[in-house]
Structure 1
Amino acid sequence: MPTPTTLPPSDIRRDPSIQHLLGRMPQDVADTFTEAQLASLRLALGARSWGRHAVDIRGTVVFWRWRYYYVFLLGRNRRELTRREKQLSLLLQAVFLSVLLLVSTLLGLLVLYLVKSALGIDLFPGFSLGIWSWFKQQF
């Protein structure tokens, strides 16, 4: 797609984003824009690379006399992260993986304990955590 500066002067008004922009204003105002102004507007509007999101939910909620809007955007982050943001991201990833590993380990130990108890294996005679008896009552 040609950039706004390479569009011939007569073609700038045929650009879809410019047509949309001009269509949202009164015709007498839209007619006053020069080709250079429209090209600059197209360039400024085209710089909105953040405008596309995988999830884009917007709405309005009326609460008594006031109206509130909400926006939920979700998508891939295409920005260049700062050093601090990269460090925070790595820390959050490490915490998430640690929690995932801990939960997986505990769940695995619980399954092993239930299998051991179901088979009647008693590692410590006279000692029970009570999980097997609770599990039998529930299921």
Structure 2
Amino acid sequence: MSNLQQDPAIRSLLNRMPKSIQTTFTDDQLAHLKIAIGARQWGNHAVDCRGVIKLFKYRYYYVVLAGRNKRELSAKEQRIAKLGQALVLSVVLTLSVLLMLLITYLVKSALGIDIFEGYSFGVWGWFKGLFN
């Protein structure tokens, strides 16, 4: 059995045919079948949101798909994925540190501790104003 016959899209297509027909396809024919059905083969996604928006006399469709990537990535795609991961991690770490600093400052202010006598950033006053 060739690698193409192991492909999930091709396997799904061949399974709907009689066994005597399944074995008659060449690898070249299977490759062209995969290209032909590839545009329609979406699979199952964790997020699959599709809809239509009517704007004046035109209708526009949108598709949002998200899920685990099961494809083999090229070297360029791997670099982009690592860059994206680094960016997301940097944003999450930065926001976490800023949140911890804010919480620490609010606790310090609630306890009445002044680091610089007579000086305030105004965060405590703003925070108390949210609940008044």
1:57 aligns with 2:18: no
Among candidates 67, 76, 81, match of residue 75 of structure 1: 67
Aligned-residue offset at 1:6:
7.0
- State the secondary structure of the residue aligned to 2:19: coil
Q: TM-score, normalised by structure 2?
A: 0.65
- Find the aligned partners of 1:118 and 1:60 in 2 and give their Cα distance: 52
1:7 aligns with 2:22: no
Identity among equivalent pairs (%): 48
How well do the aligned residues superpose, as a CA RMSD in angstroms? Answer: 3.2
Unaligned runs of 5+ in 2: 1-10
Among candidates 58, 72, 86, match of residue 66 of structure 1: 58
CA 113–84 in structure 1, closer or farther in 2 if over 3 Å, else same: same
Q: How many residues align?
A: 110
Structure 1 or 2, whichever has the larger Rg, is: 1
1:44 aligns with 2:36: no
CA deviation string 1:31-90 (max 9, x = no partner): xxxxx69xx79x937x75643323323333333332322222222111111111111111
Q: Which residue identity does 1:7 align to in structure 2? A: K
CA deviation string 1:94-129 (max 9, x = no partner): 111111111111111111111111111112212211
Q: Which residue identity does 1:117 align to in structure 2? A: S
1:132 aligns with 2:106: no
